[in-house]
């Protein structure tokens, strides 16, 4: 079976598994008892319920140290059944009595299969009829809706899923760390490296245990599930709040396929990172908040009704999960709630609302923090990346997260202790940095400030007026290039080694100079006094556009002025919201939705520009832009929906308004295609060669567990957990460095596979010889002795791979029958060595280069000295 | 009261049942000719065994008769036990052998390049010859050390230690607890020669005093001494256990070393075959494919040792033989699918007054015939009588009973091998075509005694299979797919201790069959005459083979229309198909090939690559 077919089948199974968690199981348990508005609300609530349930089941089992496949099955299934029995008041005894009676009748021959079939025929017929009717009502009757939904699913798959059928490796730096943490859950070691929001990890662990999907497969393919569900949640959210039927698709398509956003706002979706997993819980929490106000308002009673209680519960769960999965998601949900509180200020401080809302918020935070609190109280320290997050909030110059993710792990391989010290992330990279195999940064950092400023300065110094235009052009092109194809900006950042994401404040003196320059241009058209003010405003606006908005919004064919439209979302939404509240009393809650969305837009602008505004930064701007894009995609259809609703709903029937929304949606889609605003699908190579994953998968499937070891560069390290063993290639080579055959490198498994890249990948860092093949020249360099990933980066990887290859050649000469080529392509070779596990081979041999005097280096040094 | 109708029905049923049971016996008796030996009619190939070139003649004339890589060079005395083993192995594997007593004067330029070199260390002057050996390995010629020089010689010569892949010698001599033979070298898989139970201690006859040699990088070890106590005490790794048989890689050449006297016995032929297999990516050679079980002095026709027998078993020897021994032998036969060759002895101890009887002769012939067993003549006898006298005494007995049954096989005491020519003049022995006798290092396992009679030496014993004999069994199975196992019943009739009591012998036999012979079930179970036919074919066979990618072409000569058998050993490859023949898997990477044609193509498929 080819890897593409295997991946496609795995993807299908994963979709089924996640649908089970987020739709099928919850529907089975509460489907009959929980009265929800429509299918969108069902899906939204079920997603929350399903995720919350599995997360907290695993949390409980982990904290009790009894998390094993059997307990996971038991504690997942049994409570579900009990809840169902309780909610539906199922007479279990009678049901079983009837079942056994039927069996008895079958066994006794009183009931034949045919008779039973005839007996059940009317029931099945009725079910078929209902299903047909449902399909007709949902899909045939709403054909445009169904078509748009299908198109959206196809688009989501094309953009986020199809690339995974081509490139199989992990696509983010810290996937290995997450893999490691999830692996530790199998050993009941939650919070292994400290207290950390583990919601994402326990969810993945649940999928791994319950559906028997290998963790490394999950961590490859969840990258499709995460954006898909975030978009589906957005669609459900908008469908539930918008007054028009098709406008929500504008937001969903805008976020899915348009290139209106910069690459860095969605490139993180190429890997299943916790932050992106948390995005799917933001809008359900917000929706539950809106729904609570709506229901409470409708009920007009001071006692909590069942329905509004359900929304409060959903809110609590959803908000708790935003905290549990990633704090940033909770911040955005919190900001939206702030907007909601402002929008519903006439009601929120009323007794029935405030108390319930406050208690729910407290409970949700408590529920979220509880597992972490228990761990902390029992002596587990905070995980270091939390400190990194805190430093961002506190406004300190953040250390790179990667520096803190250092871990020291010791594995025991069948009595053989393999000690490895791995910094799983490049210190020069931020968490989740996504880099193509050629070393190009896919995530464009917000902070191109310095370069842009330099450009600006240079331009203004040269010729003030002309320079202002050129400044715009330069900045725009800088941003646009970063958004459409990251290569240009990236190569700068990587080559200069300035890929840090934090923006540096422009020196105030320089700022004044620039303001003056803008002022001088303005005074040509205005008097001196207003000209200076205008100049200052122009300068600030220009900076805001070039350095803030353009980090989120991309230009359209070189025109970046339109990005200011986003700034006007806030006044428009607030104005429409207020108008709706004042004019359309019956829909005052809808007005609140618009106002809240307007406020979150404003708040997001402020958070994003916090550094510019000189206020404490809530989150890293680069991360903020991811959420901002998501919120813009939510706000855009709401703006359109609000306008259509406000101006057309007076006289026209709903059907006509829907038709208008359909026309607008179609027009939007057509414009995207017409103006070539369609983003490219995720099709970047992973950090591993495809061949590595192909070999790994085959090894796992065709060898008995724990009878094999893979010797490779890092990435397979965590992937082989609970299947086999891994040995670091660099440690392997170092084991015979300087001492040759006198050393002792032994691997205590029957089969050993050695992965060697013939053309070493640029693992998060390119170098002067990127793309070159391994060679004797590579062997002539001193073996890198850096700790962690650095020994596999840039030139070091080339040296290590060259050494490994020549070791393999020599070893094959010594053991021609015991070593064979397992798999080979132009880029990659995998060797298989079969050894006697009771008399292990000593892999330490003299392969010439390990005993050389590094002639080339000595030569270089002498040249340098000269 | 039974009604008449019921009575009639019962009677009819009883009659039917009676007829059903009796009919089978009646038909079998009438249809079978129990006095006919089906094996005596086997068509035996004519003698024209594969002959090596007489290297002594070549040495005299100075004309080198072989091509580069076309011979095996042996440095040592070809009349010594090691020389005999090497000579036998070369002959069986159809290789030319050139024996010299010294490496001095040997040059590749003059004598052409050998396939590999086998050394008896006693004939090597390491001070002078080591550089020559290095030169030879540089040319890609592999070397086998059939024994090691003394520890002093090794320790004094670091270069020699490097040559042999010895990292260091921890102790000049150490007593190991047992030996461990790793799988993949000899057929039969991994075997531990260390008694677990007290009763197994008598099996241990391997030399446990060995130098503690620790091998270095680039080596592969096939057999080690076990030091469990040491391991437990000092958490010592397996890799530091004393190496017994190992290999060191020197560029394209390999240096094999055997520490101990394992090459001084016939078992050495299998070790050499395994080394050849290790040297190349595959190995194919002719084999016999015969597994014989010889019951010597069974049945005994005289009621000997009556007093002692009655004391031990409460019955006479003949009655015990018929009622106890034979049924248990049948059960073993059925369980392990054996094929017995029973060597009848009219009398074993000619000082015993009991005379051979005739009562059970036909009984045994019937049984043997029905079970496919063969009846042969036992020429074994007690020490108090000579072979000629035995034959003289037995003539009267044979004259009376064996007029029609022609025995084509006989068992001979190894001490009487010189008297065989005389023995075959006896009218009752003259039809014998093959003789089985005990193993002797100077006697080839399989050979012609004269143009008509072949000799098949014993290779194992069912009674007391010691570790050394098991190693030899594995070795001979590896080299020849052949086993000639003996169960001597004279000890049962004339026991010298408790160990000779039937129950103990049966236990031994049963456990040995269940364990030590188990890996070789693929090989054919044969009577001695059947085996004789295969041996003659094997000795006649010559073969040439070549490989092109995944296809091995095999050309066979000397088959004479008979079925030829070959062993194919690969490294991580499996046979997908073959033309004009069939194959069976013996174990991982080992296949038995049956060939009814002179040419075949064998297609292999690697198992060590992705997706296979």
Enumerate the residues of chain B whose CB falls inside 8 A of the CB of residue A834.
572, 608
Q: Given this model, what pLDDT does residue B403 score?
A: 63
Nearest CB to A822 within list B220, B280, B610? B610
Q: Is the distance from CB of B292 to CB of B528 less than 8 angstroms?
A: yes
- Between these two residues, B439 and A209, which has the higher pLDDT value? A209
A702, closest residue in chain B (CA to CA): B611
Q: In angstroms, what separates the C-alpha of A746 from chain B's closest C-alpha?
A: 10
Closest chain B residue to the Cα of A2, Cα to Cα: B611
> What is the rounded CA–CA span in Å between residue A297 and residue B319?
108
Residue in A838, A843, A846 to test binding to B, most B beta-carbons within 10 Å: A838
Residue B585: strand pairing partners: B591
Best of A2, A701, A738, A814 to mutate (most B CBs within 10 Å, chain B): A814
Restricting to B residues 578-607, those with a Cβ less than 8 Å away from any Cβ of A are 606
User: Nearest CA to CA, how far is A818 from chain B (Å)?
Assistant: 7
- How do residues A402-455 score in pLDDT, each as one tens digit? 333 333 333 333 333 333 333 333 333 444 444 344 433 333 333 333 333 333
Write out pLDDT tens, residues B327-338: 999 999 888 888
Torsions phi, psi for B375 (to 5 deg) = -105, 125
> Cα dihedral angle (A819, A823, A825, A827), rounded to 10 degrees?
-70
- Identify the residue among A700, A732, A817 best suited for mutation to test binding to B, counting B beta carbons within 10 A and taking the highest: A817
**Residue from A533, A563, A560, A552 nearest A607 by CA:** A552
Nearest CB to B217 within list A818, A839, A844: A844
Among B184, B281, B609, the residue with its CB nearest the CB of A823 is: B609
Q: Which residues of chain A have pLDDT under 50?
A: 302, 398-506
pLDDT band at B121; cut points 50, 70, 90: very high
Strand partners, B553: B546, B601
Long-range contacts of range A201-206, CB-CB < 8 Å, 24 or more positions apart? A201/A274, A202/A54, A202/A55, A202/A58, A202/A59, A202/A62, A203/A51, A203/A54, A203/A55, A203/A58, A203/A277, A203/A325, A204/A178, A204/A272, A205/A58, A205/A67, A206/A21, A206/A54, A206/A55, A206/A57, A206/A58, A206/A72, A206/A76
Say whether residue B531 is in contact with chain A using an 8 A CB cutoff. no
For residue B610, which residues of chain A lie inside 8 Å, CB to CB?
694-695, 698, 822-823, 830
Measure B546 CA to nearest chain A CA, in Å.
18
Please answer yes or no on whether A820 and B572 come within 8 Å at the CB atom. Answer: yes
Looking at the complex, report in whole angstroms how far the Cα of residue A416 sits from the nearest Cα belonging to chain B. Answer: 11
For residues B228 and B177, is the Cβ–Cβ distance under 8 A? yes
Q: How far off is chain B from A687, nearest CA to CA, in Å?
A: 22
How near does any CA of chain A get to the CA of B358, in Å? 58
Residues of A in contact with B282 (CB under 8 A): none
Select the residue of A741, A817, A842 nearest B571 (Cβ to Cβ): A817
Task: Enumerate residues 546 to 585 of chain B having a beta carbon within 8 A of any beta carbon in chain A.
Answer: 571-572
Task: Please indicate if any CB of chain A lies within 8 Å of the CB of B220.
Answer: yes
Higher pLDDT, B203 or B256: B256
Each residue of B517-575: pLDDT tens digit? Answer: 888 989 999 999 999 999 999 999 888 899 998 899 999 988 888 899 999 999 989 99
Q: How far is CA B347 from the centre of its chain?
A: 29
Could you tell me the CA-to-CA distances from A38 to A43, A299, B458 in Å, in that order?
Answer: 9, 19, 88
> Chain B partners of A820 at a C-beta cutoff of 8 Å?
571-572, 606, 608-609
pLDDT of residue B356: 87
User: Which of B183, B220, B610 faces A815 most closely, judged by CB atoms?
Assistant: B220
- Cβ pair B183:A836 closer than 8 A: yes
A695, A741, A838 ranked by CB distance to B182: nearest = A838
* pLDDT given for residue B235 in this prediction: 58
The helix or strand, by DSSP H or E, that contains position B548, with its residue range, turns out to be strand B542-548
Query: What are the residues of chain A with a beta carbon less than 8 Å away from any beta carbon of chain B?
Result: 694-695, 698, 740-744, 746, 813-818, 820-823, 830, 832, 834, 836, 838-846
Encoding tokens for residue A77?
């299934």
pLDDT of residue A525: 66
Contact flag B572-A845 (C-beta cutoff 8 Å)? no
Q: Give the residue on A whose Cα is nearest the Cα of B242.
A: A839
Q: How many CB pairs under 8 A join A and B?
A: 73
- Cross-chain residue pair A741–B216, CB shorter than 8 Å: yes
B610 CB near a chain A CB, below 8 Å? yes
Query: Is A695's CB within 8 Å of B610's CB?
Result: yes
Is B611 within 8 Å of chain A by CB?
yes
Contacts of B354-362 with C-beta under 8 Å, sequence gap 24+, read B354/B302, B354/B303, B354/B304, B354/B306, B355/B302, B356/B301, B356/B302, B356/B397, B357/B301, B357/B302, B357/B303, B357/B318, B358/B301, B358/B400, B358/B401, B359/B318, B360/B299, B360/B301, B360/B318, B360/B321, B360/B322, B361/B301, B361/B401, B362/B34
How far is it, in rounded angstroms, from Cα B180 to Cα B433?
40
The token pair that represents A289 in the structure block: 């908040």
pLDDT at B70 over 80: yes
What the block records as the tokens of A149 is: 């939904």
> Which two structure tokens, joined as six digits, stand for A147?
């078509």
Residue contact B251–A813, C-beta within 8 A: yes
- Choose the closest CB to A814 out of B221, B249, B606: B249
Q: Do A838 and B219 touch (CB under 8 A)?
A: no
List all residues 6 or more positions away from A775 whose beta carbon is below 8 Å from its beta carbon. A802
Collect all residues with Cβ–Cβ distance below 8 Å to B441 and sequence separation of at least 6. B81, B84, B85, B264, B265, B266
Nearest to B382 by CA among B341, B425, B336, B351: B351
The pLDDT confidence band at residue B362, using thresholds 50, 70 and 90, is confident
Q: Residue B415's pLDDT is what?
A: 82
Q: Which of A233, A181, A174 is nearest to A202 (CA)?
A: A181
Q: Would you call A842 and B218 a contact, using CB atoms and an 8 Å cutoff?
A: yes
Q: How far is B73 from chain A (nearest CA, A)?
A: 23
How far apart CA A709 and CA A754 sit, in angstroms, is 8
Looking at the whole model, is its pTM more than 0.90? no
């Amino acid at each position: 079976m080819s890897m593409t077919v295997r991946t496609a089948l795995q993807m299908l199974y994963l979709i089924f598994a996640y649908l089970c968690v987020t739709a099928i199981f919850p529907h089975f348990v509460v489907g009959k008892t929980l009265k929800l508005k429509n299918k969108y609300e069902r899906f939204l609530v079920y997603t929350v319920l399903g995720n919350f349930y599995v997360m907290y089941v695993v949390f409980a089992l982990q904290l009790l140290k009894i998390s094993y496949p059997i307990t996971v099955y038991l504690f997942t299934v049994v409570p579900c059944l009990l809840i169902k029995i309780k909610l539906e008041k199922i007479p279990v005894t009678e049901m079983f009595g009837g079942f056994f009676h039927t069996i008895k009748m079958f066994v006794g021959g009183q009931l034949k299969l045919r008779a039973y079939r005839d007996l059940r025929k009317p029931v099945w017929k009725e079910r078929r009829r209902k299903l047909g009717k449902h399909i007709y009502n949902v899909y045939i009757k709403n054909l445009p809706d169904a078509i748009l939904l299908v198109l959206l699913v196809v688009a989501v798959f094309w953009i986020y899923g199809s690339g995974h059928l081509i490139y199989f490796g992990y696509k983010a730096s810290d996937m290995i760390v997450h893999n490691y943490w999830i692996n530790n859950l199998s050993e009941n070691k939650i919070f292994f490296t400290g207290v950390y929001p583990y919601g994402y990890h326990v969810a993945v662990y649940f999928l791994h245990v319950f559906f028997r999907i290998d963790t490394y497969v999950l961590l490859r393919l969840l990258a499709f599930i995460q954006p898909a569900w975030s978009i589906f949640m957005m669609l459900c959210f908008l469908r539930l709040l918008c007054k028009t039927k098709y406008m929500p698709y504008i937001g969903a398509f805008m976020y899915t396929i348009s290139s209106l956003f910069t690459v860095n706002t969605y490139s993180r979706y190429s890997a299943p990172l916790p932050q992106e997993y948390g995005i799917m819980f933001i809008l359900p929490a917000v929706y539950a908040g809106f729904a609570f106000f709506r229901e409470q308002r409708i009920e007009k009673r001071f006692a909590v009704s069942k329905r509004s209680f359900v929304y409060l519960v959903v809110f609590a769960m959803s908000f708790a999960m935003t905290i549990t999965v990633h704090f940033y998601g909770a911040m955005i949900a919190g900001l939206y709630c702030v907007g909601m509180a402002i929008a519903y200020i006439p009601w929120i401080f009323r007794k029935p609302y405030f108390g319930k809302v406050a208690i729910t918020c407290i409970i949700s935070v408590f529920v979220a923090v509880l597992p972490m609190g228990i761990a902390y109280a029992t002596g587990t320290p905070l995980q270091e990346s939390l400190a990194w997050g805190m430093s961002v909030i506190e406004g300190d110059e953040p250390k790179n997260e990667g520096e803190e993710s250092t871990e020291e792990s010791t594995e025991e391989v069948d009595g053989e202790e393999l000690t490895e010290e791995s910094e799983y992330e490049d210190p020069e990279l931020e968490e989740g940095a996504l880099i193509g195999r050629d070393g190009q940064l896919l995530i464009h950092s917000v902070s191109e400030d310095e370069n842009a400023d330099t450009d600006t300065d240079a331009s203004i110094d040269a010729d003030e007026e002309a320079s202002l235009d050129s400044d715009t052009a330069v900045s725009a092109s800088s941003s646009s290039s970063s958004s459409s194809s990251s290569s240009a900006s990236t190569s700068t950042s990587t080559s200069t080694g300035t890929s840090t994401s934090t923006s540096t404040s422009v020196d105030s003196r320089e700022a004044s100079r620039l303001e003056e320059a803008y002022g001088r241009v303005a005074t040509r058209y205005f008097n001196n006094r207003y000209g200076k003010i205008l100049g200052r405003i122009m300068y600030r606006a220009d900076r805001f556009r070039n350095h803030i908005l353009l980090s989120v919004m991309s230009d359209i064919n070189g025109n970046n002025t339109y990005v200011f439209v986003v700034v006007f979302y806030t006044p428009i939404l607030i104005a429409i919201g207020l108008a709706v509240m004042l004019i359309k009393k019956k829909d005052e809650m809808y007005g609140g939705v618009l106002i809240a969305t307007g406020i979150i837009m404003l708040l997001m602008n402020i958070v994003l520009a916090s550094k510019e505004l000189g206020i404490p930064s809530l989150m890293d701007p680069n991360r903020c832009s991811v959420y901002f894009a998501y919120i813009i995609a939510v706000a855009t259809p709401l703006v359109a929906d609000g306008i259509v609703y406000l101006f057309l709903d007076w006289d026209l029937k709903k059907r006509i308004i829907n038709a208008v929304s359909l026309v607008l949606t179609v027009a939007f889609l057509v414009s995207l295609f017409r103006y070539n605003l369609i983003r490219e699908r995720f099709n970047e190579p992973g950090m591993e060669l495809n061949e590595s994953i192909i070999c790994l998968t085959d090894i796992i499937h065709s060898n008995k567990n724990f009878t094999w070891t893979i010797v490779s560069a890092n990435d397979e390290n965590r992937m082989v957990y609970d299947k086999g063993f891994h040995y670091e290639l660099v440690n392997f080579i170092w084991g015979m460095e300087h001492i040759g055959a006198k050393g002792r490198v032994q691997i205590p498994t029957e089969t050993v596979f050695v992965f060697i890249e013939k053309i070493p990948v640029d693992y998060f860092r390119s170098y002067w010889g990127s793309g070159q093949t391994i060679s004797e020249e590579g062997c002539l360099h001193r073996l890198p002795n850096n700790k962690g990933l650095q020994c596999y980066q840039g030139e070091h990887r080339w040296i290590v791979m060259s050494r490994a290859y020549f070791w393999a050649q020599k070893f094959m000469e010594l053991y021609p029958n015991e070593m064979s080529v397992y798999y080979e392509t132009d880029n990659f070779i995998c060797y298989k060595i079969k050894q006697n596990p009771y008399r292990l081979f000593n892999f330490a041999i003299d392969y010439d280069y390990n005993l050389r005097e590094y002639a080339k280096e000595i030569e270089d040094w002498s040249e340098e000295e000269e | 009261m039974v009604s008449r109708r019921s009575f009639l029905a019962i009677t009819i049923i009883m009659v039917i049942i009676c007829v059903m049971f009796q009919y089978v016996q009646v038909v079998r008796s009438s249809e079978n000719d129990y006095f006919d030996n089906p094996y005596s009619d086997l068509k035996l190939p004519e003698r024209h065994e594969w002959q090596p070139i007489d290297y002594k003649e070549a040495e005299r004339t100075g004309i080198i008769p072989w091509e580069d890589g076309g011979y095996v060079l042996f440095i040592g005395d070809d009349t010594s036990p090691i020389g005999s083993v090497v000579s036998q192995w070369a002959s069986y594997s159809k290789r030319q052998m050139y024996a010299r007593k010294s490496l001095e004067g040997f040059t590749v330029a003059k004598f052409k390049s050998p396939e590999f070199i086998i050394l008896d260390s006693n004939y090597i002057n390491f001070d002078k010859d080591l550089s020559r050996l290095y030169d030879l390995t540089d040319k890609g010629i592999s070397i086998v050390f059939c024994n090691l020089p003394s520890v002093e010689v090794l320790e004094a010569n670091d270069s020699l230690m490097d040559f042999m892949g010895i990292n260091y010698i921890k102790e000049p001599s150490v007593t190991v607890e047992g030996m461990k033979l790793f799988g993949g070298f000899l057929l039969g898989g991994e075997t531990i020669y260390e008694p677990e139970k007290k009763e197994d201690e008598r099996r241990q006859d391997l030399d446990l005093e060995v130098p503690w040699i620790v091998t270095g990088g680039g080596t592969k070890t096939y057999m080690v001494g076990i030091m469990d106590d040491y391991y437990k005490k000092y958490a010592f790794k397996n890799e530091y256990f004393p190496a017994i048989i190992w290999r060191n890689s020197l560029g394209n050449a390999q240096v094999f070393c055997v520490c101990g006297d394992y090459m001084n016995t016939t078992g050495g032929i299998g070790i050499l075959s395994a080394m050849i297999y290790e040297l190349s990516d595959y190995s194919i050679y002719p084999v016999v494919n015969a597994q014989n079980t010889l019951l010597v002095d069974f049945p005994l026709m005289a009621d000997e040792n009556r007093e002692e027998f009655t004391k031990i078993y409460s019955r006479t020897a003949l009655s015990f033989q018929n009622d106890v021994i034979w049924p248990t032998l049948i059960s073993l036969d059925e369980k392990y699918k054996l094929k017995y060759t029973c060597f009848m002895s009219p009398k074993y101890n000619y000082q015993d007054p009991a005379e051979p009887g005739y009562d059970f002769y036909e009984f045994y012939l019937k049984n043997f015939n029905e079970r496919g067993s063969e009846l042969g003549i036992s020429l074994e006898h007690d020490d108090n009588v000579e072979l000629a006298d035995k034959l003289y005494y037995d003539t009267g007995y044979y004259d009376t009973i064996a007029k029609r049954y022609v025995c084509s096989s006989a068992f001979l005491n190894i001490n009487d091998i010189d008297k065989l020519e005389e023995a075959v003049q006896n009218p009752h022995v003259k039809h014998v075509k093959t003789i089985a006798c005990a193993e002797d290092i100077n006697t080839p396992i399989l050979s012609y005694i004269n143009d008509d009679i072949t000799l098949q030496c014993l290779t194992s014993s069912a009674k007391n299979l010691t570790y050394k004999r098991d190693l030899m069994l594995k070795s001979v199975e590896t080299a020849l797919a052949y086993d000639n196992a003996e169960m001597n019943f004279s000890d049962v009739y004339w026991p010298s201790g408790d160990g000779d009591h039937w129950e103990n012998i049966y236990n031994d036999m049963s456990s040995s069959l269940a364990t030590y012979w188990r890996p070789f079930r693929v090989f054919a179970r044969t009577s001695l005459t059947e085996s004789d036919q295969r041996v003659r074919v094997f000795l006649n066979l010559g073969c040439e083979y070549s490989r092109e990618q995944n296809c091995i072409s095999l050309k066979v000569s000397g088959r004479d229309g008979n079925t030829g058998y070959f062993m194919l050993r690969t490294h991580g490859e499996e046979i997908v198909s073959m033309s004009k023949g069939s194959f069976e898997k013996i174990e991982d990477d080992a296949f038995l090939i049956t060939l009814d044609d002179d040419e075949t193509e064998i297609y292999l498929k690697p198992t060590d690559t992705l997706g296979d």
